[in-house]
Amino acid sequence: MARVRVRIDDLERGDLPALSVKTGRACANPVAIVLRPEQRLVWPTGRKIAVILPLEAARARARVRLTRVTWVLLVAGAAALVAAVTGAGPAVLLLAAGALVAYGALVLIGELRWIGSRLSEVDGEVELTRVHRAFARAVDEQYGR
């Protein structure tokens, strides 16, 4: 995986090489996503940037499904935890712990499979992280770097 600086204007217009951000293969499928370059684990707020990236549709659909599954695990874990505290017994507490551990693991896997971003030291640019090296090279060539 690599990182690359990209102009925010180019991200918003989708003016990027026709290579998949994650696999580096030819991909003319633009997918609209929201990047949050200022988001932190403890405080998940910050600026949102709506961007258009070349990405396989299957990966975007998998992200949506994974998000839904993690929400189900979080709610199930919280409900089981409340049930265990209110007298359902230690077996339910074990179920709650399992659901919450599975939730954490799926969130971690989802983050590692997705595109990361952070603000660049250059105004008007964002640094994309966890992108394929071929995509990063193509963007650098586009910018003459």
The whole-number pLDDT of residue 121 equals 86
Instruction: Give residue limits of the domains in the chain.
Output: 1-55+115-145, 57-114
- CA 65, chain centre distance (Å): 13
Q: Which residue has the tokens 């580096």?
A: 24
The whole-number pLDDT of residue 6 equals 92
The whole-number pLDDT of residue 126 equals 92
Paired tokens of 117: 């971003």
Phi-psi map region of 29: left, alpha, beta (phi>0 left; psi -120 to 50 alpha): beta
The whole-number pLDDT of residue 45 equals 67
Cα 69 from Cα 120, distance rounded (Å): 32
Beta bridge partners of 31: 53
Three-state DSSP at 70 gives: helix
Per residue of the chain (145 residues), give pLDDT as tens.
Answer: 898 999 999 999 888 998 899 888 888 788 888 888 876 665 666 778 889 989 888 888 888 999 999 999 999 999 999 998 888 888 899 999 999 999 999 988 888 888 888 888 888 889 999 999 999 999 999 988 8
Task: For 74-143, give the DSSP string.
Answer: HHHHHHHHHHIIIII-HHHHHHHHHHHHHHHHHHHHHHHHS-EEEE-SSTTEEEEEEE-HHHHHHHHHHT
Q: Which residue has the tokens 């405080």?
A: 43
The whole-number pLDDT of residue 43 equals 62
